[in-house]
Amino acid sequence: MRKLLGDHVLQRLQQDTEGKLHQRLCRCLRAAIIEGVVQPKTRLPASRDLAKEIQVSRNTVLSAYEQLQAEGYLEARTGQGTWVSEQLPEVFLNTAQEKQLRPLSRSKQSVELSLRGSQLIGHASASPHQWGAFVPGVPDVTEFPHHIFSRIQTRLSREPDYQHLIYSSAGGSSELRSALTDYLRVARSVQCDTDQIIITEGIHQAIDLVSRALSDIGDRVWIEDPAYWGMRNTLRINGLDIHALPVDQDGIIPQLTPNQPPKLIFVTPSHQYPLGSHLSLARRKQLLKIARTYKSWIVEDDYDSEFRFSGQPYPSLQGLEIDAPVIYMGTFSKTIYPALRIGYLVVPKALIHSFRILATELYRGGHLIEQKALAEFIREGHYEAHIRRMRLLYAKRRAYLVELIERYLGQDFLHEFNDTAGLHLVMKLPQHCDDVAVSSLALERGVKVRPLSQYYMQSHAHAQRGLLIGFACVNEKDMLMAFGTLLQCLKENGL
Kindly write down the DSSP assignment for every residue of 111-129, as one continuous string: ----HHHHHHHHT----S-
Q: For residue 417, with 0-12 CB atoms within 10 Å meaning exposed, 13-18 middle and 19 or more buried, which class applies?
A: buried
Confidence band for 31, pLDDT divided at 50, 70 and 90: confident
- Do the beta carbons of residue 247 and residue 224 sit within 8 Å? yes
Q: How many helices (H) and strands (E) does the chain have?
A: 16, 13
On the question of pLDDT at 100 being above 80, the answer is no
Query: What mean pLDDT is predicted for residues 416-445?
Result: 92
Name the architecture of domain 2-96: Orthogonal Bundle (1.10)
Give per-residue pLDDT as tens, 378-403. 999 999 999 999 999 999 999 999 99
Average pLDDT over every residue of 286-297: 97
Query: Which CATH number applies to 145-380: 1.10.10.60, 3.90.230.10, 3.40.640.10, 3.30.70.520?
Result: 3.40.640.10
Residue with the larger pLDDT of the pair 469 and 64:
469
The pLDDT, as a whole number, for residue 92 is 54
The average pLDDT across 396-424 equals 93
CB atoms < 10 A from the CB of 382, how many?
17
pLDDT at position 218 is 95
Integer Cα distance of 483 and 232 in angstroms: 30
3-state secondary structure of 240: coil
Question: Does domain 385-492 fall into CATH 3.90.1150.10?
Answer: yes
Q: Are 88 and 73 in contact (CB under 8 A)?
A: yes
Kindly report which listed range (76-80, 271-275, 457-461) carries the lowest average pLDDT score: 457-461
Q: How confident is the model at residue 81 (pLDDT cuts 50, 70, 90)?
A: confident
Yes or no: say if 345 and 355 are a contact pair by the CB < 8 Å rule.
yes
Give yes or no for a contact between 133 and 479, defined as CB atoms under 8 angstroms apart: yes
Q: Do domains 145-380 and 385-492 have the same CATH topology?
A: no
Of the candidates 263, 268, 269, the residue with the CA atom closest to the CA atom of residue 242: 263
What are the boundaries of each domain within the chain? 2-96, 145-380, 385-492
Running DSSP on this structure, what letter comes out for residue 411?
G
**Helix, strand and coil percent figures for the chain, each rounded to 5:** 50, 15, 40
Read off the DSSP letter of residue 425: E
Helix (H) or strand (E) holding 36: none
Tell me the C-alpha distance between 189 and 200, whole Å.
Answer: 21
The pTM score is 0.77
Contact 24, 13 (CB under 8 A): yes
From first CA to last CA, the distance across the chain in angstroms is 70
Residue scoring higher pLDDT (72 or 176): 176
Average pLDDT, the chain: 90
Find the range with the poorest average confidence among 33-42, 193-202, 370-379.
33-42
Output the pLDDT for position 460. Answer: 53
CA 246 to each of CA 140, 240, 428, 462: distance values in angstroms, whole numbers, following the listed order: 31, 19, 17, 10
Cα–Cα dist 204/343, whole Å? 9
Instruction: Give me the sign of the Cα torsion angle 126, 128, 131, 135.
Output: negative
Average pLDDT of the residues in 435-446:
94
